[in-house]
Protein backbone atom coordinates (compact mmCIF):
# COMPACT_ATOMS: atom_id res chain seq x y z
CA UNK A 1 0.00 0.00 0.00
CA UNK A 2 1.24 3.51 -0.82
CA UNK A 3 1.26 6.16 1.92
CA UNK A 4 -0.68 9.42 1.48
CA UNK A 5 2.56 11.42 1.82
CA UNK A 6 4.14 9.34 -0.96
CA UNK A 7 1.09 9.91 -3.20
CA UNK A 8 1.21 13.64 -2.48
CA UNK A 9 4.95 13.93 -3.27
CA UNK A 10 4.94 11.62 -6.31
CA UNK A 11 1.60 12.36 -7.97
CA UNK A 12 2.93 12.69 -11.54
CA UNK A 13 5.03 9.54 -11.31
CA UNK A 14 2.07 7.56 -9.94
CA UNK A 15 -0.22 8.81 -12.73
CA UNK A 16 2.37 7.78 -15.32
CA UNK A 17 2.54 4.30 -13.78
CA UNK A 18 -1.25 4.04 -13.74
CA UNK A 19 -1.34 4.91 -17.45
CA UNK A 20 1.17 2.18 -18.24
CA UNK A 21 -0.89 -0.32 -16.24
CA UNK A 22 -4.08 0.71 -18.13
CA UNK A 23 -5.60 1.69 -14.79
CA UNK A 24 -8.94 3.31 -15.59
CA UNK A 25 -9.76 5.15 -12.36
CA UNK A 26 -6.97 7.72 -12.27
CA UNK A 27 -9.26 10.33 -10.64
CA UNK A 28 -8.89 8.28 -7.47
CA UNK A 29 -5.53 10.03 -6.85
CA UNK A 30 -7.12 13.49 -6.71
CA UNK A 31 -9.92 12.14 -4.55
CA UNK A 32 -7.44 10.68 -2.04
CA UNK A 33 -5.52 13.98 -1.89
CA UNK A 34 -8.80 15.86 -1.41
CA UNK A 35 -9.81 13.55 1.45
CA UNK A 36 -6.35 13.90 2.98
CA UNK A 37 -6.63 17.71 3.02
CA UNK A 38 -10.02 17.38 4.65
CA UNK A 39 -8.56 14.96 7.21
CA UNK A 40 -5.74 17.39 8.09
CA UNK A 41 -8.21 20.24 8.67
CA UNK A 42 -10.36 18.07 10.92
CA UNK A 43 -7.27 16.89 12.81
CA UNK A 44 -6.33 20.53 13.40
CA UNK A 45 -9.79 21.14 14.84
CA UNK A 46 -9.59 18.03 17.07
CA UNK A 47 -6.19 19.18 18.39
CA UNK A 48 -7.63 22.64 19.08
CA UNK A 49 -10.52 21.17 21.08
CA UNK A 50 -8.10 18.93 22.99
CA UNK A 51 -5.96 21.92 23.99
CA UNK A 52 -9.01 23.83 25.31
CA UNK A 53 -10.27 20.82 27.28
CA UNK A 54 -6.84 20.15 28.80
CA UNK A 55 -6.25 23.79 29.63
CA UNK A 56 -9.54 24.39 31.41
CA UNK A 57 -9.73 20.97 33.02
CA UNK A 58 -6.40 21.56 34.81
CA UNK A 59 -6.53 25.31 35.47
CA UNK A 60 -10.12 25.76 36.47
CA UNK A 61 -11.11 22.45 38.00
CA UNK A 62 -12.82 24.24 40.94
CA UNK A 63 -14.76 26.52 38.63
CA UNK A 64 -15.93 23.47 36.72
CA UNK A 65 -17.51 22.18 39.89
CA UNK A 66 -19.13 25.48 40.92
CA UNK A 67 -19.90 27.15 37.60
CA UNK A 68 -22.66 25.25 35.82
CA UNK A 69 -22.47 27.33 32.62
CA UNK A 70 -18.71 26.87 32.38
CA UNK A 71 -19.12 23.13 32.88
CA UNK A 72 -21.74 22.98 30.11
CA UNK A 73 -19.38 24.75 27.70
CA UNK A 74 -16.68 22.16 28.33
CA UNK A 75 -19.17 19.36 27.75
CA UNK A 76 -20.23 21.02 24.48
CA UNK A 77 -16.58 21.19 23.32
CA UNK A 78 -16.07 17.53 24.25
CA UNK A 79 -19.13 16.61 22.22
CA UNK A 80 -17.80 18.54 19.21
CA UNK A 81 -14.46 16.80 19.56
CA UNK A 82 -16.18 13.41 19.60
CA UNK A 83 -18.16 14.28 16.45
CA UNK A 84 -15.02 15.43 14.65
CA UNK A 85 -13.19 12.27 15.67
CA UNK A 86 -15.96 10.18 14.16
CA UNK A 87 -15.72 12.12 10.88
CA UNK A 88 -11.90 11.83 11.01
CA UNK A 89 -12.06 8.02 11.41
CA UNK A 90 -14.57 7.70 8.56
CA UNK A 91 -12.34 9.75 6.24
CA UNK A 92 -9.32 7.68 7.29
CA UNK A 93 -11.21 4.50 6.44
CA UNK A 94 -12.25 5.92 3.05
CA UNK A 95 -8.66 6.90 2.26
CA UNK A 96 -7.35 3.44 3.18
CA UNK A 97 -10.01 1.69 1.08
CA UNK A 98 -9.16 3.85 -1.93
CA UNK A 99 -5.39 3.46 -1.52
CA UNK A 100 -5.80 -0.33 -1.45
CA UNK A 101 -7.00 -0.07 -5.06
CA UNK A 102 -3.87 1.75 -6.26
CA UNK A 103 -1.13 -0.46 -7.74
CA UNK A 104 2.52 -0.24 -6.78
CA UNK A 105 5.04 2.10 -8.42
CA UNK A 106 6.58 0.51 -11.51
CA UNK A 107 10.23 -0.40 -11.92
CA UNK A 108 12.31 2.12 -13.92
CA UNK A 109 12.59 -0.44 -16.76
CA UNK A 110 8.92 0.21 -17.57
CA UNK A 111 9.33 3.97 -17.26
CA UNK A 112 12.31 4.05 -19.65
CA UNK A 113 10.99 1.64 -22.30
CA UNK A 114 7.51 1.02 -23.65
CA UNK A 115 6.93 -2.67 -22.99
CA UNK A 116 3.50 -3.51 -24.40
CA UNK A 117 3.75 -7.30 -24.50
CA UNK A 118 5.65 -10.14 -22.86
CA UNK A 119 9.34 -9.91 -23.63
CA UNK A 120 11.48 -13.06 -23.80
CA UNK A 121 14.75 -12.37 -21.98
CA UNK A 122 16.13 -15.92 -21.81
CA UNK A 123 15.60 -19.30 -23.53
CA UNK A 124 16.87 -22.75 -22.62
CA UNK A 125 16.57 -25.82 -24.84
CA UNK A 126 15.46 -26.32 -28.45
CA UNK A 127 11.77 -26.93 -29.21
CA UNK A 128 12.49 -28.02 -32.79
CA UNK A 129 14.47 -31.06 -31.62
CA UNK A 130 11.41 -32.31 -29.77
CA UNK A 131 8.72 -31.30 -32.26
CA UNK A 132 9.68 -33.79 -34.96
CA UNK A 133 7.35 -36.50 -33.64
CA UNK A 134 4.04 -36.83 -31.84
CA UNK A 135 4.22 -36.90 -28.08
CA UNK A 136 1.39 -37.89 -25.78
CA UNK A 137 -0.01 -35.31 -23.38
CA UNK A 138 0.24 -35.88 -19.63
CA UNK A 139 -3.51 -36.61 -19.69
CA UNK A 140 -2.99 -39.44 -22.20
CA UNK A 141 0.09 -40.71 -20.36
CA UNK A 142 -1.98 -40.97 -17.16
CA UNK A 143 -4.05 -43.70 -18.87
CA UNK A 144 -0.96 -45.93 -19.24
CA UNK A 145 0.80 -44.99 -16.00
CA UNK A 146 -0.22 -44.41 -12.39
CA UNK A 147 0.10 -40.62 -12.23
CA UNK A 148 -3.14 -38.83 -11.38
CA UNK A 149 -6.90 -39.11 -11.63
CA UNK A 150 -9.16 -36.10 -12.26
CA UNK A 151 -12.37 -38.11 -12.83
CA UNK A 152 -12.26 -39.69 -9.39
CA UNK A 153 -11.41 -36.31 -7.82
CA UNK A 154 -14.41 -34.75 -9.62
CA UNK A 155 -16.75 -37.34 -8.08
CA UNK A 156 -15.48 -36.28 -4.63
CA UNK A 157 -15.00 -32.52 -4.96
CA UNK A 158 -16.16 -31.41 -8.43
CA UNK A 159 -14.19 -30.27 -11.47
CA UNK A 160 -10.79 -28.65 -11.03
CA UNK A 161 -9.43 -31.14 -8.49
CA UNK A 162 -6.98 -34.01 -8.81
CA UNK A 163 -5.90 -37.17 -6.99
CA UNK A 164 -2.25 -38.21 -7.32
CA UNK A 165 -1.53 -41.89 -7.13
CA UNK A 166 1.24 -44.50 -7.48
CA UNK A 167 4.28 -43.31 -9.43
CA UNK A 168 2.71 -39.90 -9.94
CA UNK A 169 2.54 -39.35 -6.19
CA UNK A 170 6.15 -40.48 -5.80
CA UNK A 171 7.17 -37.97 -8.49
CA UNK A 172 5.13 -35.27 -6.71
CA UNK A 173 6.90 -35.93 -3.38
CA UNK A 174 10.30 -36.13 -5.11
CA UNK A 175 9.81 -32.68 -6.65
CA UNK A 176 8.78 -31.16 -3.31
CA UNK A 177 11.80 -32.70 -1.53
CA UNK A 178 14.20 -31.63 -4.28
CA UNK A 179 12.91 -28.03 -4.48
CA UNK A 180 13.05 -27.60 -0.70
CA UNK A 181 16.56 -29.08 -0.52
CA UNK A 182 17.78 -26.95 -3.44
CA UNK A 183 16.40 -23.76 -1.86
CA UNK A 184 17.75 -24.71 1.56
CA UNK A 185 21.26 -25.03 0.08
CA UNK A 186 20.98 -21.37 -0.98
CA UNK A 187 20.01 -20.17 2.49
CA UNK A 188 16.21 -20.22 2.36
CA UNK A 189 14.92 -21.18 5.82
CA UNK A 190 11.97 -23.59 5.65
CA UNK A 191 8.63 -23.05 7.41
CA UNK A 192 5.53 -25.21 7.69
CA UNK A 193 2.65 -22.75 7.53
CA UNK A 194 -1.11 -22.65 8.19
CA UNK A 195 -3.33 -22.89 5.10
CA UNK A 196 -6.06 -20.74 6.67
CA UNK A 197 -5.44 -17.02 7.26
CA UNK A 198 -7.46 -14.01 8.40
CA UNK A 199 -8.46 -11.12 6.18
CA UNK A 200 -5.71 -8.84 7.58
CA UNK A 201 -3.04 -11.23 6.31
CA UNK A 202 -4.55 -11.02 2.82
CA UNK A 203 -4.78 -7.23 3.05
CA UNK A 204 -1.16 -7.03 4.14
CA UNK A 205 0.16 -8.87 1.09
CA UNK A 206 -2.22 -7.13 -1.33
CA UNK A 207 -4.32 -10.21 -2.19
CA UNK A 208 -7.52 -8.68 -0.83
CA UNK A 209 -9.84 -7.13 -1.96
CA UNK A 210 -8.48 -7.24 -5.55
CA UNK A 211 -8.46 -11.04 -5.81
CA UNK A 212 -11.36 -11.82 -3.48
CA UNK A 213 -13.31 -13.56 -6.28
CA UNK A 214 -10.53 -16.17 -6.54
CA UNK A 215 -10.16 -16.75 -2.79
CA UNK A 216 -12.10 -19.41 -0.88
CA UNK A 217 -13.75 -18.01 2.27
CA UNK A 218 -14.71 -20.03 5.36
CA UNK A 219 -17.54 -17.67 6.26
CA UNK A 220 -18.46 -19.11 9.67
CA UNK A 221 -14.98 -18.48 11.07
CA UNK A 222 -14.14 -15.56 8.74
CA UNK A 223 -10.97 -17.30 7.56
CA UNK A 224 -9.59 -17.71 4.04
CA UNK A 225 -7.77 -20.55 2.28
CA UNK A 226 -4.41 -19.29 1.08
CA UNK A 227 -4.18 -18.52 -2.69
CA UNK A 228 -0.36 -18.65 -2.45
CA UNK A 229 2.28 -19.50 0.15
CA UNK A 230 3.48 -15.90 -0.09
CA UNK A 231 0.59 -14.79 2.16
CA UNK A 232 1.48 -16.63 5.41
CA UNK A 233 5.21 -16.55 4.62
CA UNK A 234 5.44 -12.74 4.41
CA UNK A 235 3.09 -12.36 7.40
CA UNK A 236 5.58 -14.22 9.63
CA UNK A 237 7.59 -10.98 9.66
CA UNK A 238 4.84 -8.40 10.28
CA UNK A 239 5.65 -5.78 12.95
CA UNK A 240 9.30 -6.87 12.91
CA UNK A 241 12.21 -4.44 13.16
CA UNK A 242 15.49 -5.78 11.77
CA UNK A 243 19.05 -4.58 12.11
CA UNK A 244 20.53 -3.82 8.69
CA UNK A 245 23.31 -6.39 9.12
CA UNK A 246 20.88 -9.37 9.32
CA UNK A 247 19.31 -8.61 5.92
CA UNK A 248 18.39 -10.18 3.59
CA UNK A 249 15.98 -12.57 5.29
CA UNK A 250 15.40 -15.62 3.07
CA UNK A 251 12.52 -18.04 3.66
CA UNK A 252 10.66 -20.82 1.86
CA UNK A 253 7.66 -23.07 2.35
CA UNK A 254 5.82 -25.87 0.61
CA UNK A 255 2.08 -25.18 0.80
CA UNK A 256 -1.12 -26.36 -0.74
CA UNK A 257 -2.77 -23.37 -2.41
CA UNK A 258 -6.43 -22.82 -3.28
CA UNK A 259 -7.92 -20.70 -6.07
CA UNK A 260 -11.37 -20.59 -7.57
CA UNK A 261 -10.04 -19.77 -11.09
CA UNK A 262 -13.55 -18.66 -12.02
CA UNK A 263 -14.36 -18.35 -15.72
CA UNK A 264 -11.69 -20.82 -16.88
CA UNK A 265 -12.80 -23.21 -19.61
CA UNK A 266 -11.42 -25.30 -22.49
CA UNK A 267 -8.19 -27.19 -23.10
CA UNK A 268 -6.14 -24.70 -21.08
CA UNK A 269 -7.64 -26.08 -17.87
CA UNK A 270 -7.57 -29.80 -18.71
CA UNK A 271 -5.48 -32.24 -16.67
CA UNK A 272 -2.97 -30.46 -14.42
CA UNK A 273 -2.94 -27.17 -16.33
CA UNK A 274 -5.19 -25.28 -13.92
CA UNK A 275 -6.71 -26.73 -10.79
CA UNK A 276 -8.36 -25.32 -7.66
CA UNK A 277 -6.01 -27.04 -5.19
CA UNK A 278 -2.33 -27.23 -6.04
CA UNK A 279 1.05 -27.61 -4.35
CA UNK A 280 3.79 -25.02 -4.63
CA UNK A 281 7.16 -24.26 -3.09
CA UNK A 282 7.40 -20.52 -2.48
CA UNK A 283 10.52 -18.47 -1.76
CA UNK A 284 10.60 -14.93 -0.37
CA UNK A 285 13.26 -12.40 0.51
CA UNK A 286 13.08 -9.37 2.78
CA UNK A 287 15.88 -6.87 2.20
CA UNK A 288 16.87 -3.21 2.54
CA UNK A 289 15.41 -0.60 0.18
CA UNK A 290 18.63 -0.13 -1.81
CA UNK A 291 19.43 -3.66 -2.95
CA UNK A 292 16.08 -5.21 -3.90
CA UNK A 293 16.75 -5.15 -7.65
CA UNK A 294 20.04 -6.96 -7.11
CA UNK A 295 18.26 -9.49 -4.88
CA UNK A 296 15.63 -9.93 -7.61
CA UNK A 297 18.35 -10.78 -10.13
CA UNK A 298 19.84 -13.33 -7.71
CA UNK A 299 16.43 -14.97 -7.22
CA UNK A 300 15.90 -15.05 -10.99
CA UNK A 301 19.26 -16.77 -11.45
CA UNK A 302 18.40 -19.21 -8.64
CA UNK A 303 15.10 -20.34 -10.25
CA UNK A 304 16.76 -20.46 -13.70
CA UNK A 305 19.44 -22.83 -12.38
CA UNK A 306 16.78 -24.99 -10.73
CA UNK A 307 14.93 -25.43 -14.03
CA UNK A 308 18.17 -26.07 -15.90
CA UNK A 309 18.98 -28.92 -13.51
CA UNK A 310 15.83 -30.71 -14.72
CA UNK A 311 16.97 -30.34 -18.38
CA UNK A 312 13.57 -29.02 -19.50
CA UNK A 313 12.87 -26.50 -22.28
CA UNK A 314 11.94 -23.19 -20.66
CA UNK A 315 12.02 -19.45 -21.12
CA UNK A 316 11.97 -16.35 -18.90
CA UNK A 317 9.60 -13.50 -19.74
CA UNK A 318 9.48 -9.91 -18.56
CA UNK A 319 5.79 -9.11 -18.16
CA UNK A 320 4.36 -5.81 -19.46
CA UNK A 321 3.07 -3.37 -16.81
CA UNK A 322 -0.61 -4.10 -17.52
CA UNK A 323 -0.04 -7.82 -16.79
CA UNK A 324 1.66 -7.61 -13.39
CA UNK A 325 -0.14 -7.79 -10.07
CA UNK A 326 -1.16 -4.79 -8.01
CA UNK A 327 1.62 -5.31 -5.42
CA UNK A 328 4.45 -5.84 -7.89
CA UNK A 329 6.79 -3.24 -9.35
CA UNK A 330 8.28 -5.73 -11.83
CA UNK A 331 7.49 -9.38 -12.61
CA UNK A 332 9.26 -12.17 -14.48
CA UNK A 333 7.44 -15.36 -15.50
CA UNK A 334 9.12 -18.72 -16.04
CA UNK A 335 7.40 -20.90 -18.64
CA UNK A 336 8.22 -24.55 -19.36
CA UNK A 337 7.37 -26.03 -22.77
CA UNK A 338 4.74 -28.78 -22.73
CA UNK A 339 5.91 -31.21 -25.45
CA UNK A 340 2.63 -33.14 -25.60
CA UNK A 341 0.34 -30.10 -25.61
CA UNK A 342 2.75 -28.00 -27.70
CA UNK A 343 2.25 -24.96 -25.50
CA UNK A 344 4.02 -23.02 -22.75
CA UNK A 345 2.98 -23.45 -19.11
CA UNK A 346 3.83 -20.89 -16.43
CA UNK A 347 5.55 -22.59 -13.48
CA UNK A 348 6.89 -19.57 -11.59
CA UNK A 349 6.24 -15.87 -11.20
CA UNK A 350 8.94 -13.73 -9.59
CA UNK A 351 8.21 -10.21 -8.31
CA UNK A 352 9.77 -7.29 -6.49
CA UNK A 353 7.10 -5.57 -4.36
CA UNK A 354 9.39 -2.80 -3.03
CA UNK A 355 7.95 -1.52 0.30
CA UNK A 356 4.30 -1.99 -0.76
CA UNK A 357 3.75 -5.03 1.51
CA UNK A 358 6.11 -3.99 4.30
CA UNK A 359 4.29 -0.65 4.70
CA UNK A 360 1.04 -2.59 5.20
CA UNK A 361 2.62 -5.09 7.59
CA UNK A 362 5.04 -2.71 9.34
CA UNK A 363 8.22 -4.62 8.42
CA UNK A 364 11.16 -2.28 8.99
CA UNK A 365 14.93 -2.14 9.45
CA UNK A 366 17.37 0.21 11.13
CA UNK A 367 20.45 1.63 9.43
CA UNK A 368 22.57 4.52 10.73
CA UNK A 369 19.92 5.23 13.39
CA UNK A 370 17.29 5.68 10.68
CA UNK A 371 14.19 3.48 10.40
CA UNK A 372 13.19 2.39 6.86
CA UNK A 373 10.58 0.06 5.41
CA UNK A 374 11.98 -3.18 4.00
CA UNK A 375 11.52 -4.35 0.42
CA UNK A 376 9.87 -7.74 -0.17
CA UNK A 377 10.36 -10.18 -3.06
CA UNK A 378 8.55 -13.44 -3.81
CA UNK A 379 8.57 -16.24 -6.37
CA UNK A 380 7.47 -19.83 -6.97
CA UNK A 381 10.24 -22.36 -6.78
CA UNK A 382 8.27 -24.15 -8.21
CA UNK A 383 4.60 -25.01 -8.93
CA UNK A 384 4.21 -28.81 -8.64
CA UNK A 385 1.26 -29.82 -10.95
CA UNK A 386 2.57 -28.09 -14.07
CA UNK A 387 6.07 -29.37 -13.38
CA UNK A 388 4.66 -32.92 -13.29
CA UNK A 389 2.78 -32.30 -16.56
CA UNK A 390 5.87 -31.04 -18.39
CA UNK A 391 8.27 -33.62 -16.91
CA UNK A 392 6.16 -36.70 -17.81
CA UNK A 393 5.65 -35.36 -21.34
CA UNK A 394 9.31 -34.45 -21.83
CA UNK A 395 10.69 -37.71 -20.42
CA UNK A 396 8.17 -40.09 -22.04
CA UNK A 397 9.53 -43.14 -23.89
CA UNK A 398 7.04 -45.46 -25.65
CA UNK A 399 4.18 -44.64 -23.27
CA UNK A 400 6.54 -45.02 -20.30
CA UNK A 401 8.17 -42.26 -18.33
CA UNK A 402 11.80 -41.90 -17.35
CA UNK A 403 12.77 -39.93 -14.27
CA UNK A 404 15.18 -36.95 -14.52
CA UNK A 405 18.54 -38.06 -13.13
CA UNK A 406 18.61 -35.24 -10.57
CA UNK A 407 15.35 -36.49 -9.01
CA UNK A 408 16.38 -40.14 -8.55
CA UNK A 409 17.71 -39.73 -4.94
CA UNK A 410 14.38 -38.13 -3.95
CA UNK A 411 12.16 -40.54 -5.90
Residue 389 has pLDDT above 60, yes or no: yes
Domains of the chain: 4-99 (1.10.287), 115-407 (3.30.930.10)
Tell me, what's the pLDDT at 263? 47
Tell me, what's the pLDDT at 57? 67
Tell me, what's the pLDDT at 134? 83
The pTM score is 0.90
Q: Give the model confidence (pLDDT) of 319-371 as tens digits.
A: 999 999 999 999 999 999 999 999 999 999 999 999 999 999 999 999 999 99
Tell me, what's the pLDDT at 61? 56
Q: Which range, of 7-11, 233-237, 259-263, averages the lowest pLDDT?
A: 259-263
Tell me, what's the pLDDT at 206? 92
Q: Which residue, among 285, 222, 231, 221, has the nearest Cα to 258 in the 3D structure?
A: 231
Tell me, what's the pLDDT at 25? 81
Tell me, what's the pLDDT at 24? 83
Q: Which range, of 174-188, 241-255, 262-276, 288-302, averages the lowest pLDDT?
A: 262-276
Confidence label for 237 from pLDDT (cuts 50, 70 and 90): very high
Instruction: For the chain, give the mean pLDDT.
Output: 91
Q: Give the model confidence (pLDDT) of 99-128 as tens digits.
A: 988 999 999 999 988 898 999 999 999 888
Tell me, what's the pLDDT at 73? 79
The 10 Å Cβ neighbour count of residue 143 is: 9
Tell me, what's the pLDDT at 113? 85
Residue 82 has pLDDT above 70, yes or no: yes
Distance CA 218, CA 227 (A): 13
To the nearest whole percent, how much of the chain has pLDDT over 70? 93
Tell me, what's the pLDDT at 55? 76
Residue pair 260/214 in contact (Cβ under 8 Å)? The answer is yes
Amino acid sequence: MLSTSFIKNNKEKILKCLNLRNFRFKNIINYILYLNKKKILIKTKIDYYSRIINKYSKKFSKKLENNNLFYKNILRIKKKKKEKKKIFNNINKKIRNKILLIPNILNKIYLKKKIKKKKIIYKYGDINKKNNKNYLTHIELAKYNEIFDTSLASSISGTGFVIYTGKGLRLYNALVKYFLYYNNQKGYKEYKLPYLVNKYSLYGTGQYPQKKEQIYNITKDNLYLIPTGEVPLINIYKNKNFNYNVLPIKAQSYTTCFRREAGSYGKKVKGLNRIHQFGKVEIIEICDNENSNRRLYNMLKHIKNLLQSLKLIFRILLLPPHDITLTSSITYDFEVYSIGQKRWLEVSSLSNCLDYQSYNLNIRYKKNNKINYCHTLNGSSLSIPRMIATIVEFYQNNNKIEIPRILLPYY
